[in-house]
Structure 1
């Protein structure tokens, strides 16, 4: 396993306790810190670039210019700034918001085999009309309580409207379905708990995230990164 693989597995929460301890002990070595700093800065720049690509851009930017940009920034700003990016405390709700922004900026409107109602709700969401989208999703779920896409996207709308209990309920119902090829329900339920932020929500979210990791379920890598970022704060 090469050095970047080890770094990536560390931040994804995939190292064993012994490997994690050995990795952290090595941070006293400046030669070890340099590739870690570069990794963190490259990932930050790549995330920012990914967010920009959600808006129409005249030119597509491939990955190698992103890495070059990160290398230039690393040279001018120094390694300490890159480490600060990762170590700066971030609240659980902010981590959940970051995930929602990265993955649900818009809903797909060309879902194969779906009803017109679902497509209409997705269009409302993409227009920023969350209340109208919620009304359509609610009507659809009354007729088809276990429709997977309605539970998934309807749950996201509930989160955006701060109807956290409803979002948790929808994602939980989705997560209980065992006949789906890919099911993000358990992971999204964890996100909803992080957003709600009640006293036991963080512990519940961590339990769900570990379930995703251990079960090799959808969004396993994202779950590992969230567990690593949550830490003890």
Structure 2
């Protein structure tokens, strides 16, 4: 029996938001490891959410998107499925994922409407949406302040999360995860100056075997998007590629756009 059928969209939303009970979360993650279809479904969900975020960001193009969705509906669904409306993001991606032609619709829609926004800023925006809105708890499950901060972050209790992360870092300046998570929290709450300070401090920790500080600083600059930010971010991305540090694959791909 296909185990992925036991998980519905509400459960995926609950998992991504951090609201899923711990026992159910462990069961869900165990299935992610063994069930390719479930893993792909989770990836689709994140991707669609990111694309819809970009659609809202570039809302002036919504009329064009409506027209093309109508055309795609006629071509791929033979008028058997009602035209997808744009009034609700949640309705949109649930309708898409329930359709047999989900991949065709996603790829066609992306190619037609987001090609012009495929630059480093848009890619950074997608990266945040797909990778930084949920933090993974460590495998040991310890209930320390860092874990509590992660749990608060996943529930979008960002003020509580930042207090916990900063308290951990103040007590343990060698805890690179604490400063990284503090920076990420500032990033997603658009406190860009504080995020940059955290990632500068993280990047300065040369003793770390794995250090995403420079890459995350570039992401933050692209998100802030003030004058000169994009140029500085691209310089950092090139440095990430040259040094083959964390984020080098994404950096190389973004620089080609």
Q: TM-score range by the shorter chain?
A: 0.5 to 0.7
- Structure 1 residues 180 and 89, CA, compared in 2 at 3 Å: closer, same or farther? same
Aligned residue for 1:50? Answer: 43
For 1:14-41, what per-residue CA distance to the aligned partner results, in whole angstroms no more than 9, with x for missing partners?
xxxxxxxxxxxxxxxxxxxxxxxxxxxx
Work out the CA distance in 2 between the residues paired with 1:180 and 1:220.
16
Query: Is residue 2:202 matched to residue 1:171?
Result: no
Per the TM alignment, residue 111 of structure 1 is displaced from its structure 2 partner at its CA by: 5.2
Per the TM alignment, residue 89 of structure 1 is displaced from its structure 2 partner at its CA by: 2.2
- SS class of match (2:206): coil
Aligned residue for 2:236? Answer: 208
Aligned residue for 1:129? Answer: 157
Higher RCO (Cα < 8 Å, 6 or more apart)? 1
Work out the CA distance in 2 between the residues paired with 1:134 and 1:48.
31
RMSD between aligned residues: 3.1
Report the TM-score, using the length of structure 2 for normalisation: 0.56
Q: How many residues align?
A: 166
Per the TM alignment, residue 69 of structure 1 is displaced from its structure 2 partner at its CA by: 6.0
- Which consecutive residues of structure 2, in runs of 5 or more, have no partner in the other structure? 1-38, 48-100
- Structure 1 residues 90 and 173, CA, compared in 2 at 3 Å: closer, same or farther? same
- CA contact 2:120–2:222 (8 Å) conserved in 1: yes
- Structure 1 residues 103 and 51, CA, compared in 2 at 3 Å: closer, same or farther? farther
Trace 1:127-206 onto structure 2 (pairs within 5 A): 127-206=155-234
- SS class of match (2:117): coil
- SS class of match (1:180): coil
- CA contact 1:164–1:192 (8 Å) conserved in 2: yes
Aligned residue for 1:17? Answer: none
- CA contact 2:166–2:179 (8 Å) conserved in 1: no
- Which consecutive residues of structure 1, in runs of 5 or more, have no partner in the other structure? 1-45, 55-67
Per the TM alignment, residue 96 of structure 1 is displaced from its structure 2 partner at its CA by: 2.3
Work out the CA distance in 2 between the residues paired with 1:186 and 1:172.
7
